[in-house]
Amino acid sequence: MRLLPILFVSAALATAWYEKDASTGILKELGPKLSQGARVVFQGEEGFEERIKRRQGWEAPDFRAIVDVKSEEDVQETIRYATRHNIPFLAVSTGHGQSASLSKVQDGIMINMRGLNAISISDDATYATVGGGIKGKEVIDHLWAHGKQTVTGVCECVSLSGVALGGGHGILQGHHGLLSDQILSLRLVLANGSAITVSETENTELFWALRGAGHNFGVVTELKYRIYGIDQYPGGETWSYEALTYPATRENVRAVYSIAKGQMDTQLEGMMIYGMVTLNPQVSNEPILMHHVALNGPLANLSAWTKPYHDLAPAAVAKEEGTFLDLPRFFQIEDRGPACNAAAHLPGTGKVRVPVDIPTYNVDALVAAVDKFVQVRTSNPEFAGSFMVIEQYSTKGVRSIDPAVSVFPSRQDKLLLAPEIFYPSLDAETGEQNRALHELAVQSGEEIKRLLVQGAKEQGGGSHSYVNYAYGGETLEEVYGKEGLGRLRKLKREFDPRNRFGYYVPVEPAEETEGHDEL
């Protein structure tokens, strides 16, 4: 059912009108069960369209209403209501997930998790208790004010849960492992509305699954999450970075990533290398490679690492010293920056990100892949905004943890490579979905991936794609690993037999959502 948008009517009027709708009756049936402060906002009410906007502009999930939850009970009641009426629902924290499977949500209920954003530090200061909808920046800022930090996504604008449930990469992972490795326990609301605790001692099989395939089993309302004192790091509060810009020629890509490959074995725990290939006609008509190197320590220490890159005569160099709080800005992914929030509000920009996780560089293959990306981008002006990332996180902490603790399959992969193709998702003239451009973006991304996978196969890798970067064309083996799939499916049958959580890279296809739960 698609309701006609009611423009310029008061919220109260729209609500009253909606209340008459017998097929949902959200206000009458669910409303009284929600806590004070929780709110239901319907399609057609002012601001609704703005609030369901996502970073992904292609085939977004479709919602009839938003429930702004304020407590775990609100999540339970909303899920009970939705399943009773067989209405699809989706937890949304910050709306950065972009798997195509999300568009299977039609006429659903959006459970807006952002009201669950409390944070408190334990008495012994070893962990924080955080709400299931808290944003990275809220965690970083609160901990910083108390002399603490932890592993969070590099971007300030993504949530903690959304990132951690897929494994989760962050700057401090070289010391402590993935985001998901910091989780001590979670509160999880299941498809039948029950809320349970999941940890190393309770519901242990789910604990294994939630850390890598966590979007499949329930809604996380709270996490206990390890934290660390800033004074324990050799670099203390000081971080520095350099961004070196080169024309993205084959020669430059080969030279830069031959050096980067040589630094993999010695890369410090508090160090991050991050390359980005883009074409920004406002800057230059040639594609550029921006190679970032960041270090927990002063610029004087960083220069030993960046000297060989300087010897390649970059066209430009930017450098700065700051703290952990400045890192997102150094990487140009700060909360209000264009890559973070603004992108979510670019109307109608489709995005196909095609990730490959690999154990080490095959420089020949990378050169060929970047070359392909440059070719695709320069010959398609419609793909403005597209980029390709080469992420060389420190992985010592990740690799030192037993892979058996969680389903996350890529502990031995040291590099995350991903082209991300942007395209206008709606035809400017007809207003129709730009399916041909979407297909071209997919095809281009897949061609780049094929080159990278081929190269990685020579080194025994290339079979994994990070689930949180996946666009939806990946196999389940690629995102969850071959070994874990049977266990995931067994858990699915036990905890979500109707596949209510089947919308984000689902371990079972989402079509199987028919029928009613016993409640």
Ligand X SMILES: *[C@@H]1O[C@H](CO)[C@@H](O)[C@H](O)[C@H]1NC(C)=O
Ligand Y SMILES: Cc1cc2nc3c(=O)[nH]c(=O)nc-3n(C[C@H](O)[C@H](O)[C@H](O)COP(=O)(O)OP(=O)(O)OC[C@H]3O[C@@H](n4cnc5c(N)ncnc54)[C@H](O)[C@@H]3O)c2cc1C
Write out the residues near ligand X by the rule CB under 6 A. 190, 192, 194, 234-235, 297, 301, 494-495
Confirm if 154 and 331 have CB atoms less than 8 A apart.
yes
- The one of ligand X, ligand Y, none whose footprint includes residue 293, by CB under 5 to 8 A per kind, is none
Give least dist CB 269 to ligand X, A: 10
Give least dist CB 504 to ligand X, A: 20
What does each C-alpha distance from 348 to 59, 442, 479 come to in angstroms? 10, 17, 27
- Closest C-alpha among 73, 75, 105 to residue 89: 105
Give least dist CB 306 to ligand X, A: 14
Count the site residues for ligand Y by CB under 6 A: 34
- The one of ligand Y, ligand X, none whose footprint includes residue 257, by CB under 5 to 8 A per kind, is none
Contacts (Cβ under 8 Å, ≥6 apart) of 429? none
Q: If binding is defined by CB under 6 A, does position 96 make contact with ligand Y?
A: yes
Determine the residue type at 486. Answer: G
Nearer to ligand Y by Cβ, of 18 and 387: the residue is 387
Give least dist CB 72 to ligand X, A: 15
Q: If binding is defined by CB under 6 A, does position 219 make contact with ligand Y?
A: yes
For ligand Y, the binding residue among 97, 174, 270, 297 (CB under 6 A) is 97
Q: If binding is defined by CB under 6 A, does position 162 make contact with ligand Y?
A: yes
For ligand Y, the binding residue among 233, 383, 393, 504 (CB under 6 A) is 504
SS (H, E, C) 255-311: HHHHHHHHCCCCCCCCEEEEEEEECCCCCCCCCEEEEEEEECCCHHHHHHHHHHHHC
Give least dist CB 491 to ligand Y, A: 15
Residue at shortest CB range from ligand Y: 162
Q: If binding is defined by CB under 6 A, does position 270 make contact with ligand Y?
A: no
Q: If binding is defined by CB under 6 A, does position 339 make contact with ligand Y?
A: yes
* Part of the chain binding ligand Y (CB under 6 A), chosen from 57-65, 160-168, 199-207, 399-407: 160-168
432: buried, middle or exposed (CB in 10 Å: 19+, 13-18, 0-12)?
Answer: exposed
- The one of ligand X, ligand Y, none whose footprint includes residue 494, by CB under 5 to 8 A per kind, is ligand X
Question: Hey, is 86 helix, strand or coil?
Answer: coil
Contacts (Cβ under 8 Å, ≥6 apart) of 262? none
Q: How far apart are alpha carbons 114 and 211 in whole angstroms?
A: 21
308: buried, middle or exposed (CB in 10 Å: 19+, 13-18, 0-12)?
Answer: middle
- The one of ligand X, ligand Y, none whose footprint includes residue 495, by CB under 5 to 8 A per kind, is ligand X
Q: If binding is defined by CB under 6 A, does position 92 make contact with ligand Y?
A: yes
For ligand Y, the binding residue among 24, 117, 161, 434 (CB under 6 A) is 161
How many Cβ atoms are within 10 Å of 480's Cβ, its own excluded? 25
- The one of ligand Y, ligand X, none whose footprint includes residue 468, by CB under 5 to 8 A per kind, is ligand Y
Give least dist CB 188 to ligand X, A: 10
Nearer to ligand Y by Cβ, of 243 and 343: the residue is 343
Give least dist CB 296 to ligand Y, A: 17
Tokens 């890279």 found at: 505
Token pair belonging to 201: 């001692």
Give least dist CB 439 to ligand X, A: 40
Nearer to ligand X by Cβ, of 286 and 321: the residue is 321
Max Cα-Cα span within the chain: 71
Q: How far apart are alpha carbons 5 and 481 in whole angstroms?
A: 43
Q: If binding is defined by CB under 6 A, does position 166 make contact with ligand Y?
A: yes
Nearer to ligand X by Cβ, of 225 and 495: the residue is 495
Q: How far apart are alpha carbons 429 and 421 in whole angstroms?
A: 22
Give least dist CB 198 to ligand X, A: 12
What does each C-alpha distance from 62 to 58, 105, 107, 395, 428 come to in angstroms? 12, 6, 5, 38, 22
Alpha carbon distance, N-terminus to C-terminus of the chain: 25
Give least dist CB 220 to ligand Y, A: 4
Q: If binding is defined by CB under 6 A, does position 385 make contact with ligand Y?
A: no
Q: Which residues pair with 222 in a beta bridge?
A: 131, 187
Q: If binding is defined by CB under 6 A, does position 467 make contact with ligand Y?
A: no
- Closest C-alpha among 273, 477, 456, 260 to residue 356: 456
Site string for ligand Y, 101-120 (x = CB under 6 A): ------------x-------
Contacts (Cβ under 8 Å, ≥6 apart) of 222? 72, 116, 129, 130, 131, 132, 186, 187
* Part of the chain binding ligand Y (CB under 6 A), chosen from 154-162, 224-232, 367-375, 395-403: 154-162
Torsion of CA 90, 91, 93, 96, to 10 degrees: -30
What does each C-alpha distance from 30 to 13, 27, 74, 477 come to in angstroms? 19, 6, 9, 39
Q: How far apart are alpha carbons 407 and 491 in whole angstroms?
A: 12
Nearer to ligand X by Cβ, of 225 and 501: the residue is 501
Q: If binding is defined by CB under 6 A, does position 350 make contact with ligand Y?
A: no
Give least dist CB 315 to ligand X, A: 28
For ligand Y, the binding residue among 91, 290, 295, 366 (CB under 6 A) is 91
CA 229 to mean position of chain CA atoms: 26
Nearer to ligand X by Cβ, of 330 and 469: the residue is 330
How many Cβ atoms are within 10 Å of 482's Cβ, its own excluded? 13
Per CB under 6 A, contacts with ligand Y among 46-75 are: 55
- The one of ligand X, ligand Y, none whose footprint includes residue 234, by CB under 5 to 8 A per kind, is ligand X
Give least dist CB 133 to ligand X, A: 23
Which residues bind to ligand Y, rule: CB under 6 A? 55, 90-97, 113, 132-133, 153-155, 158-159, 161-163, 165-166, 168-170, 215, 219-220, 333, 339-340, 468, 503-504
